[in-house]
Amino acid sequence: MDESVFQAFLPELVDIRRRLHQMPETGYEERQTSALVADLMEGWGLTVTRGLAATGFVATLDRGGDRAIGLRADMDGLPIVEETGAVYASRIPGMMHACGHDGHTTMLIGAAFRLLHDDDFRGKVHFIFQPAEETAGGAARMIEEGLFERFPCEAVFALHNYPGLATGRFSARPGAMMAAIDAATLTVRGTGGHGARPEDTVDPIVAASSIVMALQTAVSRNVPPQEAGVITVGAFHAGSACNVIPDEAVLEISLRATDPDVRSKLCRRFEDIARLQAESFGAEVRIDWQVGYPVTMNDAAAVGLAAGVIRDTFGDDAFEPLDRPMMGSEDFAFMLEKVKGAYLFLGNGDSAGLHNSRYDFNDALLERGPVFLHALARRFFA
C-alpha cells in the first residue's frame, strides 16, 4: 500500500463519515446509508451482495486462494436528539449517530480502499455491513439469512469506538468481552378493588414489590461470587389512585451476565422467583421475553493476532489488555458464536459517552482504524 495514496484519500473518508452522520437511520431503515456505501464499493469493483437482513450487505474482495476473513461494521443510528452543535449534525429530527456506527462504517470503507490497493496477497475479504445492531439483532438475522453459508469466513473481526479510552488505543480481552443481555416484560395479575377492602382483592403491587426484592437475591445467592451478573428492574408501572387497588402491575426487567451458564441460571431464577412469589400472594404472572444477545466471546488466538498487529504497527502502548468484561452487550456476539474472531475497542478519546446527545465519533480514528484492519487482514493471510 502506497501510504501517500491513502493520505490523499483521508479527507474524502472524513467527508463520507460526516455525510453518514447527517443521515442517521435506525435499525432496518438504513436504506440510504446502505445504498450509499454499497454503491461506492460496487463502483470500486468489489462484488456486492445486497439485501441480507433487509438493509445489510456484504462486499467481497477476492484475491484468490481459499482463505477468507470477515470484517464487520454496524450502520444504524439511534432515536436521540443530537446536541453536538457540529456543522455536520444530523439533519433527521430526533435521530442521531450517537454510538459511532457512522464511524465504524467509514473505517470499514477505508479498510476496503487500502486492501483494494494491494494486489500482492491471496485471500478473500468479506466486508460485512450489518443493520440494526442497537436493539433488533441485525447480526442474528444476517446469519439466519445465510451469511456464513454464502460467505464462509475463517475468522471475523469488528471494532467499536470507546469514549474514555485514549484516542487510537485498542483494547480487548480473550474470552468474555461483553455481557449477554436478556430483557423481559413481567405482568403481575391480581384482582383489583377498593383500597379500604384489601381482603377482597389480590394486590398486584404488593406481589410485584415482593418480586422486585426477591430478584435481588438471584445474583447474591445463586451466582458464584467470582462471576458477574446484573438484574435491573428498570420500570414498574401500576395503579392510578391512592384508594384503588389495581388489577395488574407491569415491570420491565433486564438481565446481564458474562458467562453463558450464569446467563441461563439468572433467566431460570427470574422465572421461578416471579412465578412462585406471585403464587404465594394468589397472583399470576406472564413473562414476555424480548430479543436477547449472547455473551460476546473473543477467541484467544484471534485477540493474540490482533494485539500483535496493533503492537507491531502502532507500538506497544497502542494495545491495552482489558482486565474485565464490560457489562454492556453487542450483537456481534451472534457472529462470534458461529465463527471465531474478536471484537475490539478503539479509543475515541475524551468524548461524551455512547448514546449521549453530545457524543460524536472521533474522525482521527478514520486513519488508524483502516490501517489496523488492513494490516490484520494481511497478517491473517500471510
Query: Rounded to whole angstroms, how far apart are CA atoms 31 and 88?
Result: 20
Nearest residue (CB) to Zn ion, 204 versus 294: 294
At closest approach, how far in Å is the CB of 104 from Zn ion?
A: 7
Question: Distances from the Cα of 157 to the Cαs of 22, 125, 309, 312, in angstroms?
Answer: 27, 11, 13, 18
Smallest distance, Zn ion to C-beta of residue 28, A: 15
Beta strands 319-321 and 170-172, pairing class: parallel
Least distance (Å) between residue 198 CB and Zn ion: 44
Helix crossing, 260-280 with 204-222: angle to 10°?
150
Distance CA 263, CA 229 (A): 8
Q: Which is nearer to Zn ion, 99 or 186 (CB)?
A: 99
DSSP 207-255: HHHHHHHHHHHHHHHHS-TTS-EEEEEEEEEE-SSTTEE-SEEEEEEEE
**Which has the closest alpha carbon to 154: 6, 352, 338?**
338
| Total of chain residues touching Zn ion, rule CB under 5 A | 1
Stretch of 94-102, 116-124, 144-152, 161-169 contacting Zn ion, by CB under 5 A: 94-102
- Residue closer to Zn ion by CB (options 99, 109) is 99
Angle at 101 between CA 98 and CA 102, to 5 degrees: 95
In whole angstroms, the minimum distance from the beta carbon of 265 to Zn ion comes to 27
Sign of the dihedral defined by the CA atoms of residues 293, 297, 303, 305, in that order: negative
Which CB sits closer to Zn ion, 18 or 160?
160
Note whether 180 and 354 are within 8 A (CB): no
Name the segment binding Zn ion (CB under 5 A); options: 98-106, 174-182, 255-263, 287-295: 98-106
The residue behind cell 477476492 is 62
Least distance (Å) from Zn ion to the CB of residue 235? 20
Pair 334, 294: CB distance under 8 Å = yes
Nearest distance from C-beta of residue 133 to Zn ion, angstroms = 6
Nearer to Zn ion, 258 or 348 (CB): 348
Between residues 319 and 359, which has the closer beta carbon with respect to Zn ion?
Answer: 359
Phi, psi torsion values for 184, nearest 5 degrees: -145, 150
Per-residue x/- track, 42-81, Zn ion (CB under 5 A): ----------------------------------------
Q: Is residue 177 at the binding interface for Zn ion, with CB under 5 A as the rule?
A: no
Q: Which is nearer to Zn ion, 129 or 281 (CB)?
A: 129
Nearest-approach distance from CB 382 to Zn ion, in angstroms: 30
Query: Shortest approach of Zn ion to residue 135 CB, angstroms?
Result: 9
Q: CA 159, 160, 162, 165: dihedral to nearest 10 degrees?
A: -10
168 alpha-carbon distance from chain centroid: 20
Q: Smaller CB distance to Zn ion: residue 99 or 159?
A: 99
Nearer residue to Zn ion within complex by CB, 24 or 246: 24
Helix (H, G, I), strand (E, B) or coil at 65: coil
* Contact predicate 128/147, CB 8 Å: yes
Q: How far is the CB of 101 from Zn ion (least distance, A)?
A: 6
Of 99 and 297, CB closest to Zn ion:
99
Among 54, 71, 99, 211, binds Zn ion (CB under 5 A): 99
What does the DSSP 8-state code read for residue 353? P
Of 8-16, 17-25, 91-99, 168-176, the window that binds Zn ion (rule: CB under 5 A) is: 91-99
Q: How many CB atoms lie within 10 A of CB 156?
A: 26
Q: Which residue is nearest to Zn ion (CB)?
A: 99
Looking at residue 23, the DSSP 8-state letter turns out to be: S
Beta carbon of residue 328, minimum distance to Zn ion (angstroms, whole number): 8
Binding site for Zn ion (CB under 5 A): 99
